[in-house]
């Protein structure tokens, strides 16, 4: 399974600074899942562990997040906040723009068993990452 993000979010995800995303549809995975992070249909640039999934109401989000999310999902009032933590960076230079800093190849951020390091097949996401 995967979460798709805009390329502008890649550096913050890899730095561990972006740790949540708001989506319009409920995710197809649960808390504890290891999920690949992709920019569109490209190969993954990272793996994250899902640490929380919660329903949120658009009007309860703080500004400027509320305005940004409202533009991404016009007419949606009930959304899903997916919180995650970086587990592994996948250093594939060709997957990011030439302006992005290089990342170490397959750098494990936190040690996982080999079973936990396996990823499920990619599942198309909605392509919008905000948070």
- pLDDT tens for 76-103 read 999 999 999 999 999 754 344 444 444 4
Q: How far apart are CA 89 and CA 14, in angstroms?
A: 7
For the entire predicted model, the pTM comes to: 0.70
With H, G, I as helix, E, B as strand and everything else as coil, classify residue 65.
helix
- C-alpha Rg value of the chain to the nearest Å: 14
Mean pLDDT of 102-117: 38
DSSP at 29: S
Residue 19 placed within a domain: yes
Q: How confident is the model at residue 112 (pLDDT cuts 50, 70, 90)?
A: very low
The answer to whether residue 8 sits within a structural domain is: yes
Beta strand ranges found along 17-60 (DSSP E): 20-23, 34-38, 46-57
Residue 67 predicted with pLDDT over 70: yes
User: What pLDDT shows up at residue 92?
Assistant: 59
Does 16 fall in a domain? yes
Instruction: State residue 122's pLDDT score.
Output: 31
In this prediction, residue 91 carries a pLDDT of 77
**Mean per-residue pLDDT, 7-26:** 97
Instruction: Flag whether 67 is in a domain.
Output: yes
**pLDDT of 21-66, one tens digit each?**
999 999 999 999 999 999 999 999 999 999 999 999 999 999 999 9
CATH classification at residue 47: 2.30.130.30
What domain range includes position 40?
Answer: 2-112
> How many domains does the chain divide into?
1
């Amino acid at each position: 399974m995967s979460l798709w993000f805009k390329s502008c979010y890649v550096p913050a995800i890899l730095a561990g600074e972006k740790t949540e995303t708001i989506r319009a549809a409920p995710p197809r995975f649960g808390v504890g899942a290891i999920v690949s992070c992709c920019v569109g249909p490209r190969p993954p640039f990272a793996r994250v562990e899902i640490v929380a999934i919660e329903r949120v109401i658009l009007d309860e989000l703080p500004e400027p997040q509320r305005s940004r999310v409202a533009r991404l999902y016009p007419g949606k009032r009930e959304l899903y906040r997916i919180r995650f933590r970086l587990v592994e960076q996948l250093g594939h230079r060709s997957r990011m723009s030439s302006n992005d800093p290089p990342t170490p190849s397959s750098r494990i951020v936190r040690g996982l068993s080999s079973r936990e390091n396996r990823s499920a097949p990619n599942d198309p996401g909605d392509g919008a990452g905000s948070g």
